Amino acid sequence: MSKIKTAFLILCLVPIVNLSVLAQKNKTSKKTKAVKSTVTDAATSQQKVMAEFYFVEGMKFLSLNNIRSAQAHFEKAYTLEPNSDGLNYMLAKTYFFNANYAKALSHIQKSLKSDPKNREYYLVQAKILEAQKNYPEAIKTYKKMIAETKGGEKFYFDLAQVQLDSKDYPGAISSYNKIEEIYGKSLEITRQKQKIWQAAGKTDEAVKEGQALIKAYPTIIEYQVAQAEMLYYAQRKTEAFDLLQNILKKDPNNVQAHVMLYQLYRYDNDLENALKSVEWIIRSPDTDRSIKQEVMKDILVNAKSDSDKKSALQLAERFYEQYPTDGTAILIYGDALFVNNQKEKAWIYYGKATHYFPENFNVWIQVMSLDYEFQKYDSLTIHGTRAIEYFPNQAAVWYFTGIGHYFSKNYTKAAEALLETKNLAASNNEVKTNALLMLGDTYNELKKYTESDAAFEEVLKMDRYNIQALNNYSYYLSLRKEKLDLAKEMSERVVNRNPNEVTYVDTYAWVLYQMKDYKGAKAQLEKFMTTTESATILEHYGDILFQLGDVKGAVEYWKKAKAKGSDTSEFIDKKIADQKLYE
């Protein structure tokens, strides 16, 4: 439809005609007019006046782009002046615009019958036939227009396109040859002809076209580079490389040749030589910054080995040094650092990149992921809050923000962000599950136990074997000494599936402890005591020993727990000092 409208607008660029004046013109003057009309001998004076009125009104509506009203007035005029070629022309255009091609064709044929030398009439007929996909007749129309009308030769381009659409490749080549005869050779026409020859399986002819262009313009290096590109895609790689090397001998600083050489190495999976080409491109002061950006992005994506990644990083660093305030150079450097596992340094540059690309979602996700990985929770909160300004409807942004608040112990804000995550997640169960798991932990910290339990239960409705939900829910219940039978049942499910995971076994042991099954709790934990590094688990084991009457053993493990770090209860020092259990 867009092509039809464009053609229509072009065709509308004609003067408003006066039917009564045109009717009085001598027939010999018709061939110099774009739009004309004739008045039948039988028409009355009143009919002439009314026909002209309807026509002028139609043109007014047409100028306002009110096609329907314009067509209605032209149709009224037509009932009074059916032989006016100008009126038939306007009717053809309005019918054409409304995709009524049969009527459009009928009216434009009447116009051409009255004036077979009018180029505009031919053009409208050709466009109607194209819209009907009647390519043979459209081709005939273009050929006749070119032959019969003044200035028609510029429509060889349109003719060639219709010939291509109808797969008349010899005809299209002939038309492009005519264009070259009139306007001279050009890269655009040569490329078109090469595509046609290649589509017809005649690569040698395509190569000859490029050679002819180079021969006509031997000093324009761009044409030689284009020929190298064509040769490469035609699987004549040796010729392509030879041509590029020859170009660089004559013009060693030709940017186009170096860029094309890089592309050829890349397509040939010769990353070593591709990197050398990129090095020249990055160092060259004549290379446009946008080209440097694109080759750097490309080389990073395709750097697979450690050595290639290292080389890409060196290039990215040089590019950044050239443009230290360019956002893309900063981001590319960050990416290069990241793929070389220099994540902490990459985090710095991703943070800078957010100021240049605040609406780039992936940049925010990258920097927040690294915030989380390196436990930079204050930064995660700041980045998340800023990102929400730009992406208020993205669940992932709210989720990261919630995590930042949670680990910063701002549990109220964490709950708000995680609730928003859940609401935005909609049918994305993975995101929704993660938000609910964090909400369960957050509400527990806020001592909103009903909401905490509800969050875990909602997860278990979606996935009854969700390990994190089963473990955390049962652990929180054990701490509160509530629903211990449920806690035991859930914890058993986890341990049965993960018998060697000490964290889950500790939860199960602690549930048994709260149920006063001290022997059962000890049996669960004792096999891990020589290997665990967890202060919490060591302290728990000490508590179990105390309940079993082994005070000396209990104190020993409390001391081990304290030596491991701060992840112990608030009573640890008092337990050790008094050799008593405090809970």
- pLDDT of residue 32 exceeding 80, the answer is no
- pLDDT of residue 304 exceeding 80, the answer is yes
- Residue from 130, 187, 191, 190 nearest 155 by CA: 130
Q: How far apart are CA 226 and CA 240, in angstroms?
A: 10
**Mean per-residue pLDDT, 453-479:** 96
Question: Is residue 552 a part of any domain in this protein?
Answer: yes
Burial of residue 533 (number of CB atoms within 10 Å: 0-12, 13-18, 19+): exposed
Question: Is residue 455 a part of any domain in this protein?
Answer: no
Q: State the chain's maximal CA–CA distance in angstroms.
A: 128
pLDDT in tens, 245-296: 999 998 899 898 999 899 888 888 888 888 889 999 999 999 999 999 999 9
The predicted structure's pLDDT at residue 344: 96
Question: Is residue 348 a part of any domain in this protein?
Answer: no
Question: Is residue 460 a part of any domain in this protein?
Answer: no
The predicted structure's pLDDT at residue 6: 29
Question: Is residue 249 a part of any domain in this protein?
Answer: no
Q: How far is CA 315 from CA 232, 282, 427, in A?
A: 26, 7, 43
Per DSSP, the three-state class of 149 is coil
**Distance, C-alpha 485 to centroid of its chain:** 52
Read off the amino acid at residue 310: K
The predicted structure's pLDDT at residue 264: 87
**Mean per-residue pLDDT, 538-548:** 95
Would you place residue 233 in the very low, low, confident or very high pLDDT band (cuts 50, 70, 90)? confident
- Residue from 403, 392, 409 nearest 370 by CA: 403
- pLDDT of residue 39 exceeding 90, the answer is no
pLDDT in tens, 495-536: 999 999 999 999 999 999 999 999 999 999 998 999 999 999
Q: How far apart are CA 210 and CA 394, in angstroms?
A: 51
CB atoms within 10 A of CB 130: 24
Q: How far apart are CA 134 and CA 103, in angstroms?
A: 15
Question: Is residue 578 a part of any domain in this protein?
Answer: yes
Q: How far apart are CA 180 and CA 496, in angstroms?
A: 81
The predicted structure's pLDDT at residue 229: 87
**Mean per-residue pLDDT, 74-96:** 91
**Mean per-residue pLDDT, 222-243:** 90
- pLDDT of residue 12 exceeding 90, the answer is no
The predicted structure's pLDDT at residue 10: 30
Would you place residue 1 in the very low, low, confident or very high pLDDT band (cuts 50, 70, 90)? very low
Judge whether 96 and 65 are in contact, CB under 8 Å.
no
- Residue from 360, 372, 429, 370 nearest 395 by CA: 429
Would you place residue 444 in the very low, low, confident or very high pLDDT band (cuts 50, 70, 90)? very high
Q: How far apart are CA 288 and CA 200, in angstroms?
A: 37
The predicted structure's pLDDT at residue 387: 97
- pLDDT of residue 486 exceeding 90, the answer is yes
Q: What percent of the chain has pLDDT over 70?
A: 92
The predicted structure's pLDDT at residue 507: 95
Question: Is residue 548 a part of any domain in this protein?
Answer: yes
**Mean per-residue pLDDT, 302-328:** 94
The predicted structure's pLDDT at residue 498: 95
Judge whether 504 and 517 are in contact, CB under 8 Å.
no
pLDDT in tens, 42-80: 446 788 889 889 999 999 998 899 999 999 999 998 999
DSSP class of 359 = T
Rounded to 10°, the helix 518-525/502-514 angle is 170
**Mean per-residue pLDDT, 542-557:** 95
Q: How far is CA 153 from CA 143, 183, 362, in A?
A: 9, 10, 52
Q: How far apart are CA 205 and CA 24, in angstroms?
A: 56
The predicted structure's pLDDT at residue 30: 40
The predicted structure's pLDDT at residue 484: 97
Per DSSP, the three-state class of 452 is helix
DSSP class of 153 = G
Would you place residue 556 in the very low, low, confident or very high pLDDT band (cuts 50, 70, 90)? very high
- pLDDT of residue 234 exceeding 90, the answer is no
pLDDT averaged over the chain?
89
Helix (H) or strand (E) segment spanning residue 118? none
> What letters, b where the CB count within 10 A reaches 16 and e where it falls short, cover 414-446?
bbbbbbbbbebbeeeeebbbbbbbbbbbbbbee
Q: Angle CA(102)–CA(2)–CA(171) in degrees, nearest 5?
A: 70
Q: How many CA atoms lie within 13 A of 409 on its CB side?
A: 0
Q: How many domains does the chain have?
A: 1
The predicted structure's pLDDT at residue 447: 97
Tokens of residue 219, six digits: 């000093």
Question: Is residue 534 a part of any domain in this protein?
Answer: yes
pLDDT in tens, 355-403: 999 999 999 999 999 999 999 999 999 999 999 999 999 999 999 999 9
Per DSSP, the three-state class of 583 is coil
- State which residues form the domain around 568: 529-583
- Residue from 314, 356, 306 nearest 331 by CA: 356
Per DSSP, the three-state class of 466 is coil
